[in-house]
Amino acid sequence: MFEFWDWVGGRYSLWSAIGMTIALNIGFDNFVDLLSGAHFMDNHFRTAPLEQNVPVILALLGVWYGNFYGA
């Protein structure tokens, strides 16, 4: 049985010991690609200017649609 901290949230559990079952399912090479993509987005979020920062833009769109369109 794999153990991980109880404070690890759902979407973050992918990067914990839970990732072992994902790696077994999709294959190690694909899991490495998944981790590489996540690392790329982490760096993008930290370094991209706000007007080009994809996570910031998506978050702001979510707020916009939630507040003004009730979506």
Contact 53, 44 (CB under 8 A): yes
- pTM (predicted TM-score): 0.71
pLDDT tens series, the chain, 71 aa: 777 777 766 666 777 777 888 899 999 999 999 999 999 999 999 999 999 999 999 999 999 999 998 87
Residues 6+ apart with CB under 8 A from 16: 4, 5, 8
9 token code pair: 């949230």
Predicted pLDDT of residue 11: 65
**Site of tokens 């690392």:** 39
Q: For helices 19-26 and 28-47, what crossing angle results, to 10°?
A: 120
Compute the distance between CA of residue 20 and CA of residue 53 in angstroms, rounded to an integer: 30
Predicted pLDDT of residue 25: 94
